[in-house]
Structure 1
């Protein structure tokens, strides 16, 4: 039935204009037959949704979204400290759209809580301001018109930029050192350094009777602004996932292994129970954290709702409450000590490590939890931070020092007495390689050794270490995480830092996407930490609904496996 132009309504005229425009577009661009069939279906079967149909179809024909600009902002983390946030904007259908943002933790490598807080604060501000400058100036220009879905190319550009700045900083320092050395050579000493010679001979005599003390390895130089690299990399990855229309964990899995999208497992969540480190009120420095390790395969929220196995989060909360009750009613500890910190960890006023382990044991007995069967423990010893270089010994408690060999003997005693402890994290400095090997031999397979590889990812492996801890900080890109987790021998555990960033739940997606066996999210408190736990719950439920959640029987994590199999 033909239409008369004179009797056409405004709506019909608009319809014909769209049809004519589509036909013109077809003739000019030689659109394939699929579009011709689609237009025919539209005009004769779906005239009521002309605009929506055309918009959806032609959107698919638009150009690939490209990064239009980056923006950097100063934001605050969970502890009120400055952090740099990166925002990614892309051009989509000729319009600029804010795609995503990311702010990773700013780890400055300073763990000493007694350093001048004002100096640390000023240094952090300088790092963050430099990072924001990098984002809005050089990185913005470098990544403009870049495809946000090409993660490897973006990360390569970011790494090259970082290495160039690192080399510039190195050359500047070398020039300054050479200049200062040349000035010192001009000065002629008034008298020969006789006392220095005497000290050297004394050291030689001392070394003849005792084992030589291995000095500390030089710290990795931290380049101001480096956290801009990791923040931009993660923001670009989140943008790519949004463009591809998939969750971040599936996008990261596709980057790591494009052919492996049918099998996912949830990492075992290691939950921090209590702290005895330097920031705690007691004299004990040795145990920075005591960590709860659920049995492998135990779900975060128990999607299957098993009535026999307690939920990880519920179980941990009950255990912490029972420990607080014990401490509050004990004559040895005041009520003021039984309070969770802002990180969800119970700081305890202890002098010996046995006191912390006895507290957990008593709480488990009161709750009818079988410690060593239903749950296990890990001790984050923070050994590298305990060395007193003036005495060349570890200060495990205020005024209590032990040599590396004495510390190994103490660990052996603790492991033999508390069999539920199945992991030691950083029990010694990296420099004490002989003691690492000795410790591995004396504790056998009843306990594994874990080492933090974050600051020295390229360092040679330590003797006896079967697992590694990584943190997404500073200049580490998403591609770096993929590469390191693929190359490291043994199990890899992704951990959180003490300063939570504003990028709340990405750590959970990264851990699942990388296919890691364990993830350490900290204590059960603060919105930032609980967002990560809740994200794991959401991913777990989503995978279960899709039927691609791997069960414990199909995937058994390599660490602690033998211990768990013995009690089954």
Structure 2
């Protein structure tokens, strides 16, 4: 698996995010336990599953929240009102207690697909043009239970979570991902192990810190939600130069490459142009460009810099320019759909049919269940795509996506800069998995786009 150190460098201010709510579930009772503060503040959804088996199986999961979210994501149910600035999740908790819990009492947690289908299709049952949308119960309520069930199933079977996930998906080869450290990312594809990849990423991160501090001053090295720096750069090329310099100073030119998370929906305008000066209050619109011009700009970046991945290069509904860019650079560069795909199997299928992109950004909370996430991954791999497992800006200390990335052999993971405990928790879990696998551990490295055959 390849690691992408995401969040190394940010070009826009972080938006406040509120995640957490703490739930406890057992086979006899699922009940609200209390609030737990996520790293950004008010609440997120947490779920614990305790079995009435004699072995006392217990599992806990927490659901993250996104800052920049796609309009096609499944519903994240919030309370509204004044408490927690409207970000409370008591409605979701009540849905777990009164609807989901009674239906799951006595169920076997090893039957992941059956339980997920019960929650998604029967207990919720809401559908829009893109499939199951979780408008009734909330994707955060369903996913909290789905993740906890997955962990409980692994515990019951006495198998590591990543192996349990691999078995559910039908994947026979475990792969440690290349870490992508975003929004400008560095990918240590030249490492021989995940441990070495972490060393490379950390060293580049600290060289980048020194370069930024020298050029922009002390304030520029404050970090955002994902641990990345936010210097006052005026254009993408300036950020790419900073990364290129930091990689060279660390001695990893040729071994560490670059990815971009553009989030282009943030600066797409009603007149179907992209405003490159969208951050400025006194914007006169002089830097608006067409989709074709933006495509050509990306192409120039791939010539001048070692860019191997571009995420969300266009608006989430701009299928035309996604397809154009993929056709022109897709052999050398992966074009990653995040807001475009929202981990939704139906949108993945449309992108496959239209050749709109060639990689999936896997965010389990966008779709709301483990089973649907696995379906999106399997479809992507069968299409020859890459898959990058991903955190959210409003992240928790839950390490599920680390096991998910190994179990599904995604080959890539982005979970922030090597900074902030909720980001480091995932990297530390991957280091533990690599140590546990020992001689059987495989690091994706340069094969991060296709680390295994489709399953």
TM-score, structure 1 normalization: 0.64
Structure 2 Cα separation of the partners of residues 119 and 515 of structure 1: 43
2:61 matched residue in structure 1: 102
Given candidates 174, 177, 182, the residue that maps to 1:264 is 174
Report deviation, 1:557.
Answer: 3.4
Report deviation, 1:380.
Answer: 0.6
SS in 2 for 1:153: helix
Structure 1 Cα separation of the partners of residues 367 and 449 of structure 2: 29
- Higher RCO (Cα < 8 Å, 6 or more apart): 2
Structure 2 Cα separation of the partners of residues 244 and 221 of structure 1: 29
> 2:387, 2:449 within 8 Å by CA — same for their partners in 1?
no
Tell me whether 226-235 or 475-484 shows the greater mean CA deviation: 475-484
2:161 matched residue in structure 1: 248
Structure 1 segment 446-461 matched on structure 2, within 5 A: 446-452=332-338, 453-454=341-342, 456-459=344-347, 460-461=350-351
> 2:175, 2:451 within 8 Å by CA — same for their partners in 1?
no
Structure 1 segment 131-142 matched on structure 2, within 5 A: 131-142=92-103
1:520 equivalent to 2:406? Answer: no
Given candidates 71, 95, 106, the residue that maps to 1:145 is 106
Report deviation, 1:270.
Answer: 1.2
2:449 matched residue in structure 1: 558
1:540 matched residue in structure 2: 434
1:501 equivalent to 2:414? Answer: no
> 2:178, 2:443 within 8 Å by CA — same for their partners in 1?
no
* Structure with the larger helix share: 1
Unaligned runs of 5+ in 2: 1-25, 72-79
2:20 matched residue in structure 1: none
> 1:129, 1:225 within 8 Å by CA — same for their partners in 2?
no
1:291 equivalent to 2:185? Answer: yes
Given candidates 251, 255, 272, the residue that maps to 1:392 is 272
Shift of the 357–110 alpha-carbon distance from structure 1 to 2, 3 Å rule, reads: closer
> 1:67, 1:148 within 8 Å by CA — same for their partners in 2?
no
2:9 matched residue in structure 1: none
Larger Rg: 1
1:326 matched residue in structure 2: 211
State the Cα RMSD in Å. Answer: 3.0
Given candidates 231, 235, 244, the residue that maps to 1:348 is 231
Report deviation, 1:85.
Answer: 1.2
What do residues 369-391 of structure 1 show as CA deviations (whole Å, max 9, x unaligned)? 21xx11110111111221122x4
Shift of the 484–359 alpha-carbon distance from structure 1 to 2, 3 Å rule, reads: same
Aligned residues: 399
Structure 1 segment 13-412 matched on structure 2, within 5 A: 67-73=27-33, 74-93=35-54, 97=56, 99-107=58-66, 110=69, 121-125=84-88, 128-164=89-125, 166=126, 225-257=138-170, 260=172, 263-272=173-182, 289-295=183-189, 298-301=192-195, 311-330=196-215, 333-370=216-253, 373-389=254-270, 391-397=271-277, 398=280, 399=283, 400-412=287-299
TM-score, structure 2 normalization: 0.79
> 1:72, 1:136 within 8 Å by CA — same for their partners in 2?
yes
> 1:387, 1:393 within 8 Å by CA — same for their partners in 2?
yes
